[in-house]
Amino acid sequence: GCHASGGKEVEVADLTGRNRALMEKLEEKDRLLVQVAKGQQEAKDKLPSAPGERAPSGGLGAPRGEGKEQEEHVRKLKDRVKMVEEALRAMRDEAREHVLAIKSNDILLNSMLGSGSFAEVHSATWHLPCAVKRLKDAVRSNKYEVQKFQREAYLLRSLLHPGVLRVFGFCKVDFLLVTEVVTGGSLHNIIHATPPAKLEHRQVLEYSSQVADILRYLHLCNVVHRDIKPENLLVDQRGTLKLADFGLACEKKGAYIQTRSNLAGTPRYMAPESYRDEKCTERIDIYSLAMLMWEMLTGLLPWEGSNFQDVRHAVASAGERPPIPLETPSPLAQLMRDCWHPIPECRPSAAEVLNRIAAMGVRSKFLELRERRHREEKERSESRSSSSSHGSSHSSHRTSASAHLRREVSGDLPPEGLSGSKPSTPTATGGAKTREPQVTTANC
């Protein structure tokens, strides 16, 4: 069991409350964005407003007064979105401040699971089994790598989605990042198993829907991962994906990512605008998702055998994309083409990707988890309202806090967000392989 004090139970219960408040605020933002899109479409349908002219919808258009009212309605909705985003930023800043400080002598390191250029990962024990990412001694004098390591810890702690690797705490003195352990291997290992076996189309859609769900959540939080690839997607024993390695992740402030350089990521999966070091948005993650889909369909590495300069020329200059297998269902093939469109604004959002995959008959596993969560919350609420015994309620709260602590430490806490082993990365849980080099010139 988990050997935790009563004080820690209160701390976890408080954390659970903050998580729920953040989830509600994210859902409010999502609803407002839907209303904005609907309002903008309605305003477009009412144009033109000159007498006798026909609107795009086929009607004569609305009077100028109604058009002005619709524009004002959309403007007010956008102002509310900005207010919600400010509240979200404050809530996530507070979540960062609650990163649990862990002492290294409370951690028992076990076998090494993998090693990369800058860090190594061990299986470990901290109350319960966990994984520990440790920055290598040789790079601790590298200010950039230390900052990236610390930023990953604080960023991950403020993200609350069942598809994002859960961080328990951080040891600043010894540069240790304590996370949940994922024992099912990485998506890379599944795709490139020996002997190789291409995934069935439905499995490709299932994994793609999970990644899209994770990206939908991150992008609502104004976080761009910038390194979506199979090695960074861990698979648990239930077949659920966990996105890891947020070392290159950035928070979007305004319309674009604010970095010294946008030339960052793993070349095989990088969008053309990243190669050109242009202003980037969250749509670079959507491009990477398309390359991931292609890799799952074919069982091949994108641009295998090509060097960095060749890939950059093909993607950013010549506008080339890998050939989609002929047997790919038409809706999936079109979704891939849209996701790797050369113009970022023409790529669908993560929410749109989710909807299009759902139209193909596959719903995100995380959506099912959220629906179950909402049902459980409703049942608990009804149970509390029907209970009149204060003593029973107090006991229930104490038991609930203890249960939350166990699930928090084990990584099995029900999803708090919206609608793995990587061999050479900090969260690896499988056999070691050489990690594909990243382009890491950017610093958030």
Binding site, annotated residues: 133
Q: Of how many residues is the chain composed?
A: 444
User: With contact defined as beta carbons under 8 Å apart, do 289 and 336 qualify?
Assistant: no
Contacts of 158 (CB under 8 A, 6+ apart): 92, 93, 95, 96
Contacts of 228 (CB under 8 A, 6+ apart): 211, 215, 243, 269, 285, 288, 289, 292
CA 132 – CA 174 distance, rounded (Å): 11
Query: Distances in Å between the alpha carbon of 290 and those of 205, 230, 340?
Result: 12, 12, 6
CA 436 – CA 265 distance, rounded (Å): 10
Q: Any idea which residue has 């609107």 for tokens?
A: 55
User: With contact defined as beta carbons under 8 Å apart, do 349 and 286 qualify?
Assistant: yes
Residue among 213, 227, 245, 285 flagged as catalytic: 227
Contacts of 43 (CB under 8 A, 6+ apart): 67, 70, 71, 74
Q: Which is nearest to 239 in space by CA: 219, 210, 270, 272?
A: 210
Positive/negative CA dihedral, 31, 33, 38, 39: positive
Contacts of 159 (CB under 8 A, 6+ apart): 217, 218, 221, 223, 417
CA 424 – CA 420 distance, rounded (Å): 12
Alpha helices in 245-315 (DSSP H): 272-275, 283-298, 308-312
Instruction: Specify the DSSP element, H or E, that contains 401.
Output: helix 390-410
Annotated binding site for ATP: 133
How many Cα atoms are found within 13 Å in the side-chain-facing hemisphere of 146?
Answer: 12
**Catalytic site includes residue 79:** no
Active site (catalytic) residues: 227
